[in-house]
Structure 1
C-alpha cells in the first residue's frame, strides 16, 4: 500500500509538472491606451491562452461611429514560438502570431460618437488572425483581423462582416 501511494504521488507530480510547461506566459495583465481598457491573458496549455478584456471599443458601420463599453474574450493559439526563437527574436509577453476565436459584447451606452445605441445589445463572434509583441519595458501592441458574425437587436443588421482591432499599451510586471 505504501508503494502504491508513493508511485501515485510521483506520477501525479510528473503529470502536474508536464502540464504546466508552457511556451506562453502563465498570466499577464495589460493596460491598453488606444482602446482604453484592461486585459488579462492566462496560459492554459503549451501554446494556448484565454484572453479577457473590458474597456472602450471603437466601432463603425454605415450609420456612423462610436466608442462603446465592451467586454471581450478570446481563445488564442500561438503557432510560431519555435520559429521566432530560432531567429533569436523575443517571445516574452507572448510575442508571437496567433489564430483565435473571438467574441465581443458591446454594452448599450455610447460614450463618444454619432450612433444611437437604443435599448439593445450587439456584438461580434468569429475567427481572427493576429500578432502581439511585447518589448523589454512592457510596451505592447497587438493587431488582429478576421471575419465573423455581427448581431444586434436595434439596427436589425445581423450578418457576416470584417473586423480589425489594434491596441497599444503596457504589460504590467517583468517582461
Structure 2
C-alpha cells in the first residue's frame, strides 16, 4: 500500500512540475480598456490559441475643404483569433506569461457602426467592416494593468462602396485585467 501511495505522490509532483514548464493562455479573461472605452473577453481554446472579443468606442477626426473639421465617435466590435507564439521562450527566460503576456499573430475583423458625429450638419460617417491579419503583443503587470499593441493590414468594405480598399490596421489598449 505504501508503494502505491509513493508512486501516486510522485506522479502528482511531476505532473505539477511539467504543467509549470508548459505555459498556456488563460481559459477565460475579462479586461476593461480605458483608452478607447470598452470591454474585452478573451477565451482560450487550446494552450496557445484564443478568441479575443471587444466592444468599444472609436474616435475619429476629419478635416477637409468641403466639410470643414469634425470629431466623430463610433461603436466598434472587434474579433481576433490569436495564436500566442512565444510563451515557451518567455518562460525559459524567466519572463511573465500570466494573463496572456506574450506575442501573437491573429486573424482580425472589426465592424464599425455609423458614426455618432458631433456635427451632423457637416457629415455622417458610414459603417464599415475590415478583415485582415495583425501581429501584436500583450503585457499584464503586477497590478493587473494591461498594455496591448497590434498592427497589420486589412481590407475595408464600407457601406459606401466608393470607400472600400486596403487599409492599415492598428490597435492600442490600456486597461486592467479583471480578476485574479
- Say yes or no: TM over 0.5: yes
Shift of 1:67: 2.9
Q: What residue ranges of structure 1 are gaps of 5+ in the alignment?
A: 1-20
Distance 1:62 1:73 in 2: 29
Q: Is the 8 A contact 2:72 2:115 kept in 1?
A: no
1:98 is aligned to 2:104: yes
Equivalent runs, 1:29-40 vs 2, <5 Å: 29-40=30-41
**Secondary structure, in 3 states, of the residue corresponding to 1:151?**
strand
Q: Residue 163 of structure 1: CA displacement?
A: 1.5
RMSD: 2.3
* Aligned: 1:108 with 2:88: no
Rg comparison, structure with higher value: 2
Q: For structure 2, list consecutive stretches of 5 or more residues without a partner in the other structure.
A: 1-21, 65-69
Q: Runs of 4+ in structure 1 displaced over 4 angstroms?
A: 59-65, 111-115
CA distance, structure 1, for counterparts of residue 62 and residue 107 of structure 2: 22
CA contact (8 A) 1:69 1:111 kept: no
Distance verdict in 2 for CA 1:97–1:61, change over 3 Å: farther
TM-fit CA distance, 1:105? 0.3
Question: Over residues 16-52 of structure 1, what are the superposed CA-to-partner deviations in whole Å (9 max), with x where a residue is unaligned?
Answer: xxxxx97000110000000110000000011000011
- Number of equivalenced pairs: 153
TM-score (norm 1): 0.79
The answer to whether structure 1 residue 74 and structure 2 residue 75 are counterparts is no
Distance 1:65 1:155, change over 3 A: farther
**Cross-structure match for 1:117:** 124
| Aligned equivalents of 2:82, 2:119: Cα separation in 1 | 31
Bigger share in helix: 2
- Give 1:93 shift: 0.5
Structure 2 length-normalised TM: 0.77
